[in-house]
Amino acid sequence: MPLHPLLGVLTLASLLLAAAPVAADGRAGDFDFYVLSLSWTPEACASGQASREECDAPHGFLVHGFWPEYETGYPDYCPANQPARVPQAILDGVDDVMPSTGLAGYEWRKHGICSGLSPAGYFALLGKAARKIATPQLLTPGNIPSQPTPAKIEAAFVSANPGLAAAGMAVRCANNTLTEVRICLTKELAFRPCPEINADTCHARLISVTPIP
């Protein structure tokens, strides 16, 4: 018997919702891997999405987030016996990779607390993860192409970071402009595949890369 048209629409909508990454209930420390989100700062500053701290000096990639993740979905705002406020001394330890103290505090409250780590432990791991990633020469001053393909940026990251595979990252864009690169890491900071994250790679044919000032 054929499905009622309305039932077919509802079924399709349910499938689409199930396929999208969504927040899920979680316990601190109970997750599968980390996603390191690296924001392309020149574009974030040009579009007004970055703080004064981030835009005061020329930067390429800076950490936007370091997120505990499930294979499907992610936890946030986990209940935990941890302080909501991060001491300035801890934030000073990562100001070379995440200079915005406002963003760092927000990311801790929403995502970091789900790691099960203390603020000191979480931001130490965040700093270690960020410093592990080499920026490809393709995205350094004087070498930035005007309109590369997302695949070219992806391949440049893979080449510059032994062990990283295309299946373990995503190049993100908005309005056909590079905004972010996401890289998946185990709890021990080894590269790993992540199908749900990888599926969200930019599908534009060519993208612009806002130059570093």
Residues known to be catalytic: 64, 107, 111
Secondary structure of the chain as H, E, C letters: CCCCHHHHHHHHHHHHHHHCCCEECCCCCCCCEEEEEEEEHHHHHHCCCCCHHHHCCCCCEEEEEEEEECCCCEECCCCCCCCCCCCHHHHHCCCCCCCCHHHHHHHHHHCHHHHCCCHHHHHHHHHHHHHHCCCCHHHCCCCCCCCCCHHHHHHHHHHHCCCCCHHHEEEEEECCEEEEEEEEECCCCCECCCHHHHCCCCCCCCCECCCCC
